[in-house]
Amino acid sequence: MIYFDNAATTKPADSVVKAVCSCMEENFGNPSSLHMLGLRAQQIMDGARKKIADALCTAPETVYFTSGATESSNLAIRGAAGTYGRRKKRVITTTVEHSSVKEAFARLEAEGFEVIRISPGENGEFNPQDFIDAADENTCLVSMMLVNNETGAVLPVRKVFTGIKRKNSEIVTHCDAVQAFMKINVKPDELKADMISMSAHKIYGPKGVGALYVRKGIRLLKQNLGGKQENGMRGGTEAVPLIAGFGEAVSRLSGNMTERTEKLEELRKYFLEKAEKMDGVQVNSTASAVPYIINISLKGIRSEIVLHFLEEREIYISSGSACSKGAKSGVLGEFGISPALEDSALRISFTHENTKEETDEFFAALEAAEKRLRR
Ligand code: PLP
């Protein structure tokens, strides 16, 4: 099997599976319990929280566990709007966000907020000044992703948030860093981000667990009503085994990012050379995209048809413009990719463990697809 769909999810690492299982078998206590078993569960969570905080260069008290990045972003956006948006009704985001952010803003709009959605320019790049110009004294929140999940484009979050804070330091900033965390540098202080969403299953961790970084002093209107877990930020018994797995996933990736990036850059270069040589292939990602997400089109052949052709050969990728079950998200169009290319877009997403041999096999299969399907 060749798995080139790591932006959708990653295979949990062996040590992650072990951490989850041993927690379920040996440490099943409720962290809110006052006895020994509860204390042990609490210690496991504290350990995982510290690992995530260390990776962000922040304090453990700023990391809150959630059920995944979708919940993190909902809490960040709706929570901040609930606190800071009582009088300030303008919020700003981009047109290329993941559905978890996009829909949270659509709900705010339905509730009476003025939502400003900034698009990339014709070259597919965002102009930070567009955000800064849009921010006024009536603005309470700006949310912008760091790495786009469909193209791998890196958005100028640091420049935007720095400019926004300079103009009006009261505006709260949120970044969906799901496709960036543990892959490129994600540090709240450098990004000037007040909140950052993360997910474990994109970094060889378990599904169903994520985290939200919240800068000290930022107050969010609680969304999960219930108990006082997570320092009162999110009600509900914590998923301790998944949190243990999340901590392990972060821990095993800590300290060797440069090495992994070098491998990925080499693989991307190799992939792009092969793509250039193949007739009918167009690369949709730009040169400045991250090395681990590449969007291409096999011109004139619908994504789903190619995807299933490859699947029969045990090669797994995503259709390039899908946020869920093949539905077109419109994000590629926002990046200036034509409707015809969008219909045939394929997303290939690597881990550092993928190889050139796998890339060779992928292109051999893609050539077979081209011959068979273009008839
Ligand atoms: N944000 C981005 C950019 C993503 O790629 C994803 C997952 O595909 C999410 C958010 C949602 O993360 P989760 O599956 O943890 O809810």
Active site residue 23: no
For ligand 1, atom 16, the nearest C-alpha belongs to 70
For ligand 1, atom 8, the nearest C-alpha belongs to 8
Structure tokens, 341:
């290319």
Q: pTM for the complete prediction? A: 0.97
325 C-alpha to ligand 1 centroid (Å): 14
List, in sequence order, the alpha helices (H) in the chain: 14-26, 36-56, 69-84, 99-110, 128-134, 157-167, 188-191, 240-253, 257-277, 303-312, 331-334, 339-343, 356-373
182 C-alpha to ligand 1 centroid (Å): 14
What confidence score (pLDDT) does residue 321 get?
65
Atom of ligand 1 nearest to the CA of 145: 3
Tracing tokens 């301790």 back to the chain, one arrives at 240
Q: Which of 23, 140, 175, 323 is catalytic?
A: 323
Say how far apart CA 272 and CA 292 lie, in whole Å.
12
- Closest Cα to residue 246, out of 155, 196, 182, 290? 182
Structure tokens, 351:
């881990």
What confidence score (pLDDT) does residue 375 get?
65
Residue whose CB lies within 8 A of the most ligand 1 atoms, among 100, 143, 242, for a mutation test: 100
Q: How many of the other CB atoms lie within 10 Å of CB of 312? A: 9
Atom of ligand 1 nearest to the CA of 323: 8
Say how far apart CA 326 and CA 304 lie, in whole Å.
8
- For the residues of 164-225, what is the DSSP string, one character each? HHHH-TTSEEEEE-TTTBTTB---HHHHT-SEEEEEGGGTT--TT-EEEEE-TT-----SS-
266, 316 in Cβ contact below 8 A? no
- Closest Cα to residue 238, out of 9, 80, 48? 48
Residues touching ligand 1 (Cβ under 6 Å) are 68-70, 98, 100, 145, 149, 176, 178-179, 199, 210
| Chain centroid to CA 206 | 15
What confidence score (pLDDT) does residue 320 get?
73
List Cα–Cα distances, 219 to 36, 81, 85, 116, 175, in angstroms: 32, 10, 12, 23, 16
Atom of ligand 1 nearest to the CA of 73: 10
- Closest Cα to residue 359, out of 294, 284, 271? 271
125 C-alpha to ligand 1 centroid (Å): 22
What confidence score (pLDDT) does residue 323 get?
52
Residues of the chain with pLDDT under 70: 321-326, 375
90-117 confidence digits (pLDDT tens): 999 999 999 999 999 999 999 999 999 9
371 C-alpha to ligand 1 centroid (Å): 35
150 C-alpha to ligand 1 centroid (Å): 11
Structure tokens, 12:
């949990």
Q: How many of the other CB atoms lie within 10 Å of CB of 111? A: 12
Residue whose CB lies within 8 A of the most ligand 1 atoms, among 149, 292, 349, for a mutation test: 149
Q: In what order do the strands lie in the sheet with 172-176?
A: 63-66, 210-214, 195-199, 172-176, 139-143, 90-94, 114-118
Say how far apart CA 302 and CA 320 lie, in whole Å.
10
157, 158, 164, 166 alpha-carbon torsion, rounded to 10°: 180
Atom of ligand 1 nearest to the CA of 176: 1
What single letter denotes the amino acid at residue 56? L
Residue whose CB lies within 8 A of the most ligand 1 atoms, among 6, 65, 66, 70, for a mutation test: 70
What confidence score (pLDDT) does residue 325 get?
65
263, 352 in Cβ contact below 8 A? yes
42 C-alpha to ligand 1 centroid (Å): 27
Say how far apart CA 48 and CA 70 lie, in whole Å.
20
82 Rama class: left (phi>0) / alpha (psi -120 to 50) / beta:
alpha
CB < 8 Å & 24+ apart, contacts of 274-283 = 274/359, 274/360, 274/363, 275/363, 278/363, 278/366, 278/367, 278/370, 279/370, 280/370, 280/374, 281/366, 282/341
What confidence score (pLDDT) does residue 182 get?
98
216-248 confidence digits (pLDDT tens): 999 999 999 999 999 999 999 999 999 999 999
Atom of ligand 1 nearest to the CA of 201: 15
